[in-house]
Amino acid sequence: MLIDDPVDTDGIVSVVNTVIMPSLTKPNDEPGIMVHIDDCLCEDCTLERGEILFASTVLIEITNDKHTMLARLLPNEALALARELFKHTSDLEELRERGVFGDEQ
């Protein structure tokens, strides 16, 4: 159920803890968000993956002009993120329907 102000005072809607720490790298060619469902067999990915089995993680890349944030998620972490995104999006849709944003047509 929504309350009048669904966003926490610090702006954090939810937190998903991950086993593998996210890292910053140089930016990719295209800014945006990329989700890789399967891993790669290249040497770099194998070194980064360590003991985690091939094709058992989801890699999320968020790129701006300066950096790319890489977050590798185990299946349960990816499901937790998906649930949080779905819940938050549903809350936003309900707020939009109620006219909270003032942009209904």
**% of the chain at pLDDT higher than 90:** 3
78-93 per-position pLDDT tens digit = 898 899 889 988 988 9
In a domain, 42, yes or no: yes
| Domain assignment of residue 8, yes or no | no
The answer to whether position 4 is within a domain reads no
Does 18 fall in a domain? no
pTM of the full structure: 0.63
**Residue 3 is assigned to a structural domain of this protein:** no
What percent of the chain is predicted at pLDDT more than 70?
A: 73
Question: Residue 22 above 70 pLDDT?
Answer: yes
Tally of domains in the chain? 1
Domain-embedded: residue 2: no
Domain interval for residue 87: 23-96
Per-residue confidence (pLDDT) for residue 59, from 0 to 100 = 83
Residues 75 and 23: their CA atoms lie apart, in Å, by 19
Domain presence at residue 101: no
End-to-end Cα, the chain, rounded Å: 24
Name the band, by pLDDT with cuts 50, 70 and 90, for residue 2: very low
